[in-house]
């Protein structure tokens, strides 16, 4: 009969926790992707059925865009293309501001606590500050225009 004591069982438990977490995360991502794909397929079928019944395609709202955000019921949120562009713009803007100010704060902190032996320690803050500036520039590039192709349809 196999005898398992704590010293041999503990390493298996230690390594099984991250393995289960990784496999579970990958499985959850696959299930969410398949669910989103199915919902988009149903929305497209509904749109095709409306067109076959004689509805003018220009009068139909644009297909929704699935986001990775959780809705109020725990599933993915579906937004109009314009709302999706606004949400992406705001996310980049907020991330850029946070990174920029973290970099500036880190530079200020490192320059204040420097006792003279590390003259360039403040420069470490330039890395997150540069990422913040890049995110702010990205936000300006993807900012939705009210009269552009991503604007909501006028009814």
Contacts of 80 (CB under 8 A, 6+ apart): 61, 62, 64, 65, 152
Model pLDDT, residue 4: 66
Q: What is the pLDDT of residues 61-87, one digit of tens each?
A: 777 766 655 554 445 566 777 788 888
DSSP string covering 68-123: EEE-TTSSEEEE-HHHHHHHHHHHHHHHHHHHHHHHHHHHHHHHHH--SS-TTGGG
The CA distance from 48 to 44, in Å, is: 6
Rounded to two decimals, the pTM is 0.51
Q: What is the pLDDT of residues 74-127, one digit of tens each?
A: 455 667 777 888 888 999 999 999 999 999 999 999 888 887 777 888 888 999
């Amino acid at each position: 009969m196999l005898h398992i004591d704590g010293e041999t069982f503990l390493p298996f438990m230690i390594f099984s926790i991250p393995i289960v977490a990784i496999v579970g995360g990958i499985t959850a991502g696959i299930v969410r992707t398949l669910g989103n794909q199915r919902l988009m397929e149903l929305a497209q079928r509904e749109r095709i059925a409306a067109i076959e019944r004689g509805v003018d395609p220009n009068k139909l709202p644009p297909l929704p865009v699935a986001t990775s955000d959780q809705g109020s019921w725990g599933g993915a949120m579906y937004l109009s293309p314009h709302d999706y562009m606004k949400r992406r713009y705001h996310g980049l803007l907020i991330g850029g501001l946070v990174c920029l100010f973290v970099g500036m704060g880190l530079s200020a902190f490192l320059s204040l606590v420097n006792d003279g032996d590390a003259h360039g320690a403040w420069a470490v803050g330039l890395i997150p500050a540069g990422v913040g500036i890049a995110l702010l520039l990205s936000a300006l590039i993807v900012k939705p225009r009210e009269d552009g192709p991503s604007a909501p349809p006028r009814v």
